[in-house]
Amino acid sequence: EAQVTQNPRYLITVTGKKLTVTCSQNMNHEYMSWYRQDPGLGLRQIYYSMNVEVTDKGDVPEGYKVSRKEKRNFPLILESPSPNQTSLYFCASSPRGTGPYNEQFFGPGTRLTVL
Amino acid sequence: AQSVTQLDSHVSVSEGTPVLLRCNYSSSYSPSLFWYVQHPNKGLQLLLKYTSAATLVKGINGFEAEFKKSETSFHLTKPSAHMSDAAEYFCVVTRLSGSARQLTFGSGTQLTVLP
């Protein structure tokens, strides 16, 4: 089944404790992206990757890191989480071939709480 | 710069009556526009997309949207609401930055369908 998976689905942590949220897709997509969803703000793009070893900042990259060493994986790293990073996080992927018109395939989401 | 404004944060309709979810956009480029739906505790699913081929776009589950350049609008409609349509809906515009692609989401419209 074609899908985007995220782990963990739920995470409660404390301020300053490094964490990684994994994202993996099995559709051989070039483009992958991370979003955070907050009430009343919709989804905001954190980072995106056009292909392996190619990443760039979205609208809200502060406090986050990403890497793209393999095509299928795009982990989101919080080196020193803070309470304002409490949010619902979505990973998404799409093929690059036809530019901006491609459908984004979303993972199920990771609900992160930073105490 | 580009932006998306969803004019209603909440819409309530009775089952069997028409649905109208409003979206206005601004973009320096010819935009690609999308509508996504998010059911409770689920990821986002593409409803439909506008890619300049036709101004009236038909999507899944009986939804459609009309691109009106003169009004910079991309409103989502459905002739007859069903209980299963209750969800949050996001209007999205894609921008190109060189060869990169970034998405801007509206803040969302929560649709309630009353029996």
3 state DSSP class of A25? strand
Tell me what pLDDT residue B97 has.
62
Q: Is residue B99 scored above 60 in pLDDT?
A: no
Q: CB count, 10 Å around CB of A95?
A: 13
Tell me what pLDDT residue A27 has.
93
Write out the residues of chain A at the interface with chain B, using a CB-CB cutoff of 8 A.
4, 31, 33, 35, 40-45, 48, 50, 56, 58-59, 90, 92, 99-101, 103-104, 106-109
Chain B residues closer than 8 Å to A50 by CB: 99-101
The strand ranges marked E within chain B are 3-6, 10-14, 19-21, 23-26, 32-38, 44-50, 56-58, 64-68, 73-78, 87-97, 100-105, 109-114
Tell me what pLDDT residue B98 has.
58
Give the mean pLDDT of B66-74: 92
Burial class (CB in 10 A: 0-12, 13-18, 19+), A25: buried
- % of residues, chain B, pLDDT over 70: 92
For chain A, residues with pLDDT lower than 50 are none
Chain A residues closer than 8 Å to B46 by CB: 103-104
Q: Do B43 and A108 touch (CB under 8 A)?
A: yes
pLDDT digits (tens, 9 = 90+) for B35-60: 999 998 788 999 998 877 788 999 99
Tell me the pLDDT of chain B averaged across its residues: 89
In sequence order, what are the beta bridge partners of B20?
Answer: B77
